Structure 1
């Protein structure tokens, strides 16, 4: 009698869960940092953090008129470049690095970047990623 183990199948199902857990930890970190910045630097930092937390999903409004004609879960192709640009983590991370090494030290800008990164991280943690050019979720 032979025993067959399926560690490859287990590995494939655990990896996405671990990746999403890491994104959730990242999201909680950036959320806490945004709240800390708001508490330390006032209402403007809090307002910008909240605004940039919501801003990436406002890209849906670019093609709101086309929404009724789209399939379930599909974003209008006209809105995809804007959506993907606002949902790439490298964009706010690059701006964060530029902020850290640059001459600008305005705390509300940092809080806004924390809010933006929190939004992207929550999306990834809950299974929302970038879109194909047709407007469907990738992978």
Structure 2
């Protein structure tokens, strides 16, 4: 199926080297995440699973209302883009450094780590941020 130039790409136009780099990062982060969840178990496993799922919760906002295939409704784009920025996941991971969060420090860190794995895997597969029109950039 070919796409009209006006429609834009369905995947990120990132170079193969950039995508491979994201893929290597995703693999290394996944290894770290598996190590951490095996080490701590319990709520850390729950937090890790949640961290993998959370970025795609933005698709729930995209379900309501009509939209074209491959295009997210405009109102859902800012939420999707926010949840797919590595800096947001890193800030969540840094939340474990707050002294009052000692009870939730390890699950919080692993939640952010899993979120970062999701973002890196998406970028490696060519799924980046969305443009204002709802299409992949």
Alignment of 1:113-124 (within 5 A): 113-124=112-123
Asked if 1:59 is matched to 2:29, the reply is no
TM-score, length-scaled by structure 1 = 0.80
Deviation at 1:20, TM superposition (A): 0.5
Structure with the higher fraction of residues in helix conformation? 1
Conserved? CA contact 2:70–2:135, under 8 Å: yes
Structure number with larger C-alpha Rg: 1
* 1:76 paired residue number: 73
Residue 129 of structure 1: aligned partner: 128
Who is 2:92 aligned against?
Answer: 95
Cα deviation code 1:30-59 (max 9, x no counterpart)? 211111111111121011111110111111
**Distance (whole Å) between structure 2 residues aligned to residue 98 and residue 46 of structure 1:** 18
What TM-score, normalized by structure 2, do the two folds share? 0.81
Answering whether residue 43 of structure 2 is matched by residue 41 of structure 1, we say no
The count of residues paired between Structure 1 and Structure 2 equals 121
After superposition, what is the alpha-carbon deviation per residue over 1:79-138, rounded to whole angstroms, capped at 9, x for unaligned? 1111001000111123334534x3244211111111000000000000000011111111
The gaps in structure 1 that reach 5 residues or longer are 1-14
Q: Is the 8 A contact 2:95 2:108 kept in 1?
A: no
Q: RMSD of aligned C-alpha atoms?
A: 1.6
> Which piece of structure 1 moves more, 54-63 or 82-91?
54-63
Provide structure 2 residue ranges, at least 5 long, that are not aligned to the other structure: 1-13
